[in-house]
Structure 1
């Protein structure tokens, strides 16, 4: 067994159905008396429920969260935080809202409670990705990690089947890269394999029957495990490519992960044989890269970057940017091979593993 270091994140998780009702007690636990609520317009009804639930502790709301956490949006949200004199953050939604809350916490060190409505997983990490001028960069700090995450299965029941599919594969991507991370460890590897297997089994059930509460519960459990993986170890090529493509072309986050994951895994396969075995076992398939693309196909999720709005003319630009700043990866980063990978992903070709 390899030498390893394992560090547990200092955060509280409340998991179950109907756990939203515990929000007032959790606010009291961290001493928040004036909470700013972050959301998107789709959560207006939920924001109204929370306002009634927490009463005087509802200081204000900002509903302008958008994907990729643009710095100009964070600056507008900061104006609201200052105006209402907030002493805490309640973020409701998927990765966009969670990212905004984390960006605010980075600037203010305000305590956060996150109420996820998707399988994004970023609520479990001390990392925030922010976009400025079409470039998405990440930053890590203890201030970024939410203090409390309330997983309420009921909040995921209305997530459309299409979004459930791509959000779930986005979560799987965290666990896939955790299995070949430079700082991987046995605990996270166990959680990664469990998370991949659980989501691979439950996502088809959810897409067939979105109201299946048992499947929704298992999927949220699997997504939590994958989120823990994302927060515990470093990521590699897959996440770098997705940040590059998303920032350059404003592509939808979960869909980009869904398209790129099989190709990035195939690229890294020669340098990560143990991870490939674990992923294949979790998926129940002989070839994990093809298995992940087949899962996306079964879920009627996008298979190409062309489908989600990337121009073919951007392939070389994306490849150049993806290799600009060196980063660790189990297989060396080669410009020509990365360009070919992105081209295959743009067309929606099967992933290609190097011999």
Structure 2
């Protein structure tokens, strides 16, 4: 008998296929806000007209732009953005960019509500073992226009990197989730190919680890299966033709579905757990961590969940094949890195990675029990 709990996130709407500028203005009308603070990709702001279109559409409702968020969302940049939003007296944050920017804005909302003004003040609001301390709910919320497809805009969790300890820390609050996500494929044509495709594998990873979890349930499965099938078909189409907006939209909707399991309370597994460490400690881009780890995690888990893994192969259009092989070939076909060596991580680092991965929220919930760093090492060796 199934047991579980599905919590519906605090997002009100997802708008897809409408121009971003028009959709952002409509959201401000809906929310009754009048001072929009933009947190955006630096390259989009400086090298394209996309952000200017949004500023023009907002007119007098635009107050300021922050465009200096580095990858992995370092604490320093979060505090700087919060100071700027505070000074501008913003009543809505609009993000246009990838996951680091979306997560950055989630963190800024919590900083504004909890008077976080210095880097060390983030200690007061960070989660400990996945549990958030008591804090004030954010009053200034966000609307998100994602330009990559890792899916972070559909979660209430922000990963913020502590530069001093080189650890990606978790901030969580149910109202950290954006009020709305705006999926406009036209804004994503500027996203570098490697970033689009690798974050697409991150979304695949959400579907796959969701389907393969011991805590999977039918509501989450329905979303993960459809999302996986859409991503498996659409990612190669974008690689073949970067201007295919229909394929980009399919990727975006597949990504939205990929977040179904995680937002419905299904935990991720070792691919996400090890990925946290590779990102925070070794600066491996988010999507690449999934490209490198997911097939090996599947191989290692197979003795425990072969019947769930069969769902993955079928959703990817290859019923009856080994899921790890299907994923390996798919990731290779997109030209993405496939080993730790490809992202310049040698075996001399495996002990440290294994040790730190044990402290992430996902390793303890991997489908095949991981009780010691030695088992994480086994997975790393498969991925070497």
TM over 0.5: yes
CA contact (8 A) 1:165 1:296 kept: no
Structure 1 equivalent of residue 9 of structure 2: 9
Match of 1:331 among 368, 377, 381: 368
The answer to whether residue 146 in structure 2 is matched with residue 142 in structure 1 is no
Residues in 1 aligned to 2:284 and 2:345: alpha-carbon distance in whole angstroms: 7
- Find out whether 1:266 has 2:304 as its counterpart: no
> Relative to structure 2, which stretch is displaced further, 313-322 or 326-335?
326-335
**Structure-2 residue corresponding to 1:27:** 28
Tell me by how many angstroms 1:141 deviates: 1.2
Question: Do structure 1's residue 105 and structure 2's residue 109 form an aligned pair?
Answer: yes
What is the distance in 2 between the residues matched to 1:344 and 1:274? 21
Match of 1:236 among 265, 269, 272: 269
Of 309, 312, 316, 1:276 maps to 309
Please point out which of 340, 348, 352 is paired with 1:305. Answer: 340
Q: 2:207, 2:261 within 8 Å by CA — same for their partners in 1? A: yes
Distance in 2, Cα, partners of 1:165 & 1:89: 27
Deviation at 1:20, TM superposition (A): 3.6
TM-score normalised per structure 1: 0.92
Q: Which residue of 1 aligns with 2:39?
A: 38
Offset at residue 311 of structure 1 (A): 4.4
Instruction: Please name the residue that 2:349 is paired with.
Output: 314
SS of corresponding position for 1:3: coil
Shift of 1:182: 4.7
Where does residue 115 of structure 1 map in the other structure? 145
CA shift digits 1:181-238 (9 cap, x unpaired): 3543211101101111111111111111111222122111111111233322222222
Distance 1:167 1:29, change over 3 A: same
CA distance in 2, matches of 1:182, 1:146: 29
Instruction: Provide the C-alpha distance between the structure 1 equivalents of 2:346 and 2:90, rounded to a whole number of angstroms.
Output: 42
CA distance in 2, matches of 1:102, 1:272: 35
1:180 pairs with 2:212: yes
SS at match of 1:77: helix
Note closer, same or farther for the CA distance 1:262–1:58 as it changes in structure 2 (3 Å cut).
same
TM-score of the two chains, using structure 2 as the length reference: 0.85
The 3-state SS of whatever aligns with 2:356 is helix
Q: Tell me how far apart the structure 1 counterparts of residues 159 and 310 of structure 2 sit (CA, whole Å).
A: 30
Match of 1:249 in 2: 282
- Counterpart position of 1:64: 68
Unmatched runs of 5 consecutive residues or more in structure 1: 348-355
Contact 1:180–1:330 (Cα < 8 Å) also in 2: yes
Q: 2:331 aligns with which of 296, 313, 325?
A: 296
Is the Cα contact below 8 Å between 1:121 and 1:230 reproduced in 2? no
Q: Is the CA contact (8 Å cut-off) linking 1:124 and 1:230 kept in structure 2?
A: no
The structural deviation recorded for 1:17 is: 4.1
Corresponding residue SS for 1:5:
coil
Q: Deviations over 1:69-100 (max 9, x none)?
A: 11111111111111111111001111111110
Cα distance 1:266–1:327, how it changes in 2: closer, same or farther (>3 A)?
Answer: same
| Structure 1 stretches of at least 4 aligned residues deviating more than 6 Å after TM superposition | none
Q: Label 1:342 to 1:99 Cα distance change in 2 as closer, same or farther (>3 A).
A: same
Equivalences for residues 69-88 of structure 1 within 5 A? 69-88=73-92
Alpha-carbon distance in 2 for matches of 1:148, 1:128: 16
Give CA-to-partner distance per residue, 1:269-322, whole Å, 9 cap, x none: 222233212111111331111111111111111112222243442111101111
Counterpart of 1:352 in structure 2 is none
Cα-Cα RMSD: 1.8
How far residue 19 of structure 1 moved from its aligned partner, in angstroms, is 4.5
Matched residue count: 346
Structure 2 unpaired stretches of 5+: 114-137
